[in-house]
Amino acid sequence: MSQLKNDLLLKALRGENVERPPVWMMRQAGRYLPEYIGLREKYDFFTRVQTPELAAEITLQPVRRIGVDAAIIFSDILVIPQAMGVEVLMEEGKGPHLPKVIKTQNDINSLSTDAVEAKLDYVMKALALTKQELNGEVPLIGFAGAPWTILCYMVEGKGSKTWEKAKQFCFTQPELAHQLLQKITDTTILYLKAQTKAGADVVQVFDSWAGSLSPEDFKCFAQPYLIQIADALKDDAPVILFPKGSWYALKDLSESSASGLGIDWCISPKIARELTSDKITLQGNFDPAKLLLPVAEIKKEVKKMIREFGVQKYIVNLGHGITPNIPVDHAKAFVDAVKESL
């Protein structure tokens, strides 16, 4: 199956021995790269996402520029609400805006869960094109948002610090919330399966706002759906779950069908290893703000992080996406440090 020249990521996810851990960065294709900013000036966000040639080009930029061990397809988690029939606007500098939020049973009934592969055909084309252009250099990661995080946007209509409307919806109308979560889950499973068919070697599920839920509420509104997705994909590709902030779920999720768990910087490598009993590959957890340190210190911190996690069953990454203010040579120092750590 894999004629990859660099399969460190796949080996790490299978728990096989590696000479060094693989490294990639969440949100590695994006606004800290001058070549991305150049394209952003010419095409609006969803044009970049929906044009396979542009999406493939943006996906390859960080592979060429900073030498990461994996490419992640340039897209967005909000293509799922779009495929379900919800309008999503991206306001430059402000973030996503969904003018018509989900409130009622009727709203949920009107959401579509079929023909995802056809509706998101541009993602499949971008994956196929990227795969071809990568020519086996590094693996290609597909992704989707987790059901809880997608519900957050569908109910709230935009980003939020507290997600109180999304929580109010779940807490006061749990039956509707579970119907919505199940519809998102069904759609996401079809979508991720289609991505693996189109060329994704690995898939990651971003539960970016998981940490806004208490342990008990995570277990109710987030975890069962993450587990459904991991179970459904287990024969298609390795799955990385990234429930940001939800350290309390690591034990349960380490016993799921997922191959990897992403963690943020609010938990130490040692405690994460203890909670997961060394059963699963961990990914993370550098604070992206530390990429503002001088290059020599970034390298020192990265090497320390690798010593703390250990070289095996480990994927070097940030604890959340890289921010736009990071100088490119600092992002490259992060990657170089891993390659020097032999």
Q: Is 125 near ligand CP3 (CB under 6 A)?
A: no
> What are the C-alpha distances in Å from 270 to residues 274, 282, 299?
6, 11, 20
- CA dist 302 and 286 (Å) reads 8
Q: Is 141 helix (H, G, I), strand (E, B) or coil?
A: strand
Q: Is 133 near ligand CP3 (CB under 6 A)?
A: no
Shortest separation between residue 173's beta carbon and ligand CP3, angstroms:
23
Q: Is 314 near ligand CP3 (CB under 6 A)?
A: no
Nearer CB in complex with ligand CP3: 206/273: 206
Beta bridge partners of 283: 262, 315
Considering only the stretches 87-95, 127-135, 164-172, 295-303, report the one whose residues sit in contact with ligand CP3 under the rule CB under 6 A: 87-95
CB neighbours of 201 closer than 8 A, spacing ≥ 6?
2, 4, 9, 10, 139, 140, 141, 237, 238
Q: Is 41 near ligand CP3 (CB under 6 A)?
A: no
What tokens were used for 247? 């350290």
Q: Of these residues, 36, 48, 69, 153, which one is catalytic?
A: 153
Q: What is the torsional sign of CA 268, 273, 276, 277?
A: negative
Choose among 243, 244, 233, 191: nearest CA to 73.
Answer: 191
Q: Of these residues, 20, 40, 107, 217, which one is catalytic?
A: 40
Is residue 14 flagged as an active site residue? no
Q: Is 96 near ligand CP3 (CB under 6 A)?
A: yes
Considering only the stretches 12-20, 70-78, 178-186, 227-235, report the one whose residues sit in contact with ligand CP3 under the rule CB under 6 A: 70-78
Nearer CB in complex with ligand CP3: 76/117: 76
Shortest separation between residue 142's beta carbon and ligand CP3, angstroms:
10
Nearer CB in complex with ligand CP3: 96/147: 96
Residue 218 CB: number of other CB atoms within 10 A? 23
Residue where the block lists tokens 């000479």: 19
Q: Is 95 near ligand CP3 (CB under 6 A)?
A: yes
Nearer CB in complex with ligand CP3: 131/273: 131
Is residue 191 flagged as an active site residue? no
Q: Is 246 near ligand CP3 (CB under 6 A)?
A: no
Q: Is 99 near ligand CP3 (CB under 6 A)?
A: no
Task: Please name the residue ranges forming H helices in 120-213.
Answer: 121-134, 147-156, 164-172, 174-198
What tokens were used for 66? 């900073």
- Are the C-beta atoms of 233 and 207 separated by less than 8 Å? no
Shortest separation between residue 71's beta carbon and ligand CP3, angstroms:
9
Is residue 20 flagged as an active site residue? no
Give me the active site residues, please: 27, 31, 40, 76, 153
Binding site for ligand CP3 (CB under 6 A): 26-31, 40, 45, 72, 74, 76-78, 90, 92, 95-96, 143, 159, 206, 208, 321
